[in-house]
Amino acid sequence: MRAIALIEAPDHVCSRYRIAPFRPAIEAVGGSLAIEPLERRPWARLAQLASLSRYDVVVLQRKLLPGWQLAVLRKFARRLVFDFDDAVIHRDSNDPRGPHCPRRASRFRSLMRVVDGVIAGNSYLAQLAQDSGARSASIRVIPTCIEVGDDPVRFALPVSEGIRLVWIGSSGTLSGLERKRAIWEHVGRVIPGARLRVICDRFPSFPPLPIEAVPWDAGTERERLATSDVGISWIPDDLWSRGKCGLKVLQYMAAGLPVVANPVGVHPEMIIAGETGLLADSPGEWVEAVRELAEHPARRLEMGRSARIRVERCYSTAAWSQAFASFVLGSSSIPGPKSTAAKLSEVARSESGEASP
């Protein structure tokens, strides 16, 4: 079967993590997956949509099309699958107009009523799809995944004094970190030797917490993570953030780092408190979490090992490749995908020594 994914851009993070890594899985069952940016100019886009009858499956990623474009897409797409990893029905956390956007909501509802399948990055997004008209049987939760492979991993005790926190993300998401400036400044005051490595294209200032500015580079990001001690993530508790799929948390875990994050969205699902990291809400809880990991390097190393195992079993490309290929191709010959909950339950059974049903 021939499939095509219409994406924002080849280097866009969503395509790099949610589409491209699964191409080998589709090829392994005799299919093919082309990946194309969605044309921006109206007439070029019209021609692109009209050419889709050459494919058996079209995967539209994240984009909410105007009604006339959706009608053209639906006419020529034999099987139409929508993939999304953000609450695209809402505006993002930094938009001064607030989260609700009637135009986005209307386009999302129109799309959900005509698609053959929906791939949602988490259960919150799956519920948005169902509430907007998608059939429950047509929705699959497939989390954003990491290709772990032979990545550098922090599996040795640090040789330097203090603790190096790390945050990775875009300049757009950095505003969330800056919103909690008081926490990071307090950490710098009360945790001796604490410092924050920021991997980004823009860098904050949280005196007296030293900032190590590391320009993002695809070739070095994994090594930079693996030479840190603890990954941190803070997101606001709002409608947009509840749809986030925790990519930076997965990147930390793949590097063998424990994670400290606030208990919002997918954070409590990804992080097993006390085993793979710590959840912290108030400023006091954040300081105590960092202090605990700073004072017990052997414990944070063990948490990092557990985090790596968890991402390999539950959030790796290898763990979900079969599910992705099966759902996209709509093939009954490929074993059907398991939900995130079912996969996590299976892991829990294996760790406790119980047999799978």
pLDDT value at 343 more than 90: no
pLDDT value at 305 more than 60: yes
Could you count the other beta carbons within 10 Å of the beta carbon of residue 217? Answer: 10
Of 286, 78, 66, nearest to 189 by C-alpha is: 286
Contact 32, 22 (CB under 8 A): no
pLDDT in tens, 60-70: 999 999 999 99
The per-residue pLDDT for 156 is: 64
Measured between alpha carbons, how far is 353 from 328 in angstroms, rounded to an integer?
33
pLDDT value at 355 more than 50: no
Which of 44-48, 334-338, 352-356 is predicted most confidently? 44-48
* Interval 21-47 mean pLDDT: 96
The per-residue pLDDT for 331 is: 73
Q: For residue 294, give the amino acid letter.
A: A
Average pLDDT, the chain: 91
pLDDT value at 36 more than 90: yes
The per-residue pLDDT for 334 is: 42
Cα angle for residues 163, 146, 119 (degrees, 5° grid): 130
pLDDT in tens, 101-160: 999 999 999 999 999 999 999 999 999 999 999 999 999 999 999 998 767 777 666 656
pLDDT in tens, 79-105: 999 999 999 999 999 899 999 999 999
Confidence of residue 351 (pLDDT cuts 50, 70, 90): very low
Per-position b or e across 117-129, b if 16+ CB within 10 A of its CB: bbbbbbbbbbebb
Instruction: Write out the chain in H/E/C secondary structure.
Output: CEEEEEECCCCCHHHHHHCHHHHHHHHHCCCEEEEEECCCCHHHHHHHHHCHHHCCEEEEECCCCCHHHHHHHHHHCCCEEEEECCCCCECCCCCCCCCECHHHHHHHHHHHCCCCEEEECCHHHHHHHHHCCCCHHHEEECCCCECCCCCCCCCCCCCCCCCEEEEECCHHHHHHHHHCHHHHHHHHHHCCCCEEEEEECCCCCECCECEEEEECCCCCHHHHHHCCCEEEECCCCCCCHHHCCCHHHHHHHHCCCCEEECCCCCHHHHCCECCCEEECCCHHHHHHHHHHHHHCHHHHHHHHHHHHHHHHHHCEHHHHHHHHHHHHHCCCCCCCCCCHHHHHHHHHHHHHCCCCC
Q: For residue 142, give the amino acid letter.
A: I
Please give the model's pTM, rounded to 2 decimal places: 0.90
pLDDT value at 333 more than 70: no
Confidence of residue 28 (pLDDT cuts 50, 70, 90): very high
